[in-house]
Amino acid sequence: MRIVQLANLYSPVSGGLRTAVDMLGAGYAAAGHQRALVVPGRSHTRTESEKGLLITVPGASVAPGYRLVLDPRPVLRVLTRLEPDVVEVSDKASLTVAARWARRRGVRAVLFSHERLDAILAPHLPGRLPVAPVTDRWNRRLAAMFDEVVTTSAFAAAEFARVGTPRLHRVPLGVDLATFRPADDTGSVRGHRPEPAGSFRLVLLGRLSREKRPELALTTVRELRRRGVPVQLDVVGSGPLHAALRSLAIREALPVRFHGHVHRREDVVRRLAAADVALATCPVESFGLAVLEALACGVPVVAADRGAARELLAP
């Protein structure tokens, strides 16, 4: 079977979306299917590997490390050349036109939902503007366009269930247990850091953006210090709030280390496994892959009481 995956905002720093798309694609290839991935880039490129075919089409830079396809016509031309049996779309904007292309040709089209629109849009809209009617209208349109809609959690599925999506599936993500393992198996960096002996080690893993609420991790450090708890926070990730958070930590002399985006998964594991507690501050998480990764490393997690991350934690 020929499966073509389409994704916007796919890049080395795009976290859970990239991980999910890559792992799905690797599974398709391992099962003997022909897999192609089409994502935005600086220009047209085509690369083949054991994982399948990677094609980039021109996309606009919308943030450092993130690109968005504004003109989907090159994507549709690629689809016409590839003649897929299934089109899998990890996007709710410009790439959704692929569903119409697929329907005209009798090709199955599947939407993978990586975010909950109402939760993402709410902080950016005026307080009196009702969010649900706007997102409900868009989600009805998406549900009508695609043959199947796949979400990863009850929280993520709720906005589609609310509009009566008939072919709605919940498929939780997994974690690579060969990579994400407890400290004894990973060569943890504990004992090799310049923090005071006995410091309580916190880690925050994720994109530093408004909806993720990373400032709550610094608030936690501030409160623990006020209570006399020796603490150290490691922040693994980058994003638009990076500079502001770093400035805040310096201004208040908070014991926080910013590592930026860490490319090697083994290094991410070492940072996670060295912590006493991982923080998951995002209240609108559609799944919480970083939570699962921390748990796989044997690290307890404190998560927001809203969003999907709480679904991964035992009551």
E strand or H helix at 192, and its extent? none
What is the band of 192 on the pLDDT scale with cuts at 50, 70, 90? very low
Distance CA 5, CA 98 (A): 11
Stronger pLDDT, 198 or 28, i.e. the higher one: 28
What is the band of 64 on the pLDDT scale with cuts at 50, 70, 90? confident
Q: Phi/psi class of residue 309: alpha, beta or left (left: φ > 0; alpha: ψ in -120 to 50)?
A: alpha
Sign of CA dihedral 263, 264, 265, 271: negative
Write out pLDDT tens, residues 239-271. 999 999 999 999 999 999 999 999 899 999 999
Cα 52 to the center of its chain, rounded Å = 22
Q: Do 307 and 155 contact (CB within 8 A), yes or no?
A: yes
What is the band of 188 on the pLDDT scale with cuts at 50, 70, 90? very low
Q: Are strands 277-280 and 256-258 parallel, antiparallel or unpaired?
A: unpaired
Q: Phi/psi class of residue 142: alpha, beta or left (left: φ > 0; alpha: ψ in -120 to 50)?
A: alpha
Sign of CA dihedral 286, 291, 295, 296: positive
DSSP 214-239: THHHHHHHHHHHHTT--EEEEEE---
Write out pLDDT tens, residues 115-151. 999 988 887 777 667 888 999 999 999 999 999 999 9
pLDDT at position 197 is 59
Distance CA 275, CA 277 (A): 5
Distance CA 274, CA 278 (A): 10
172: pLDDT strictly greater than 80: yes
Q: Phi/psi class of residue 74: alpha, beta or left (left: φ > 0; alpha: ψ in -120 to 50)?
A: alpha
Residue 44, CA atoms < 13 Å, CB-side half-sphere: 5
Mean of pLDDT over the chain = 93
Cα 54 to the center of its chain, rounded Å = 20
Domains of the chain (ranges; CATH) run: 2-170 (3.40.50.2000), 183-312 (3.40.50.2000)
Report angle CA 205, 298, 215 to the nearest 5 degrees.
25
What order do you get walking across the sheet with 52-58 strand by strand?
Answer: 45-49, 52-58, 34-41, 2-7, 86-90, 108-112, 148-151, 168-170
Q: What beta strand segments (E) does the chain contain?
A: 2-7, 34-41, 45-49, 52-58, 60-63, 66-68, 86-90, 108-112, 148-151, 168-170, 200-205, 231-236, 256-258, 277-280, 301-303
pLDDT at position 91 is 97
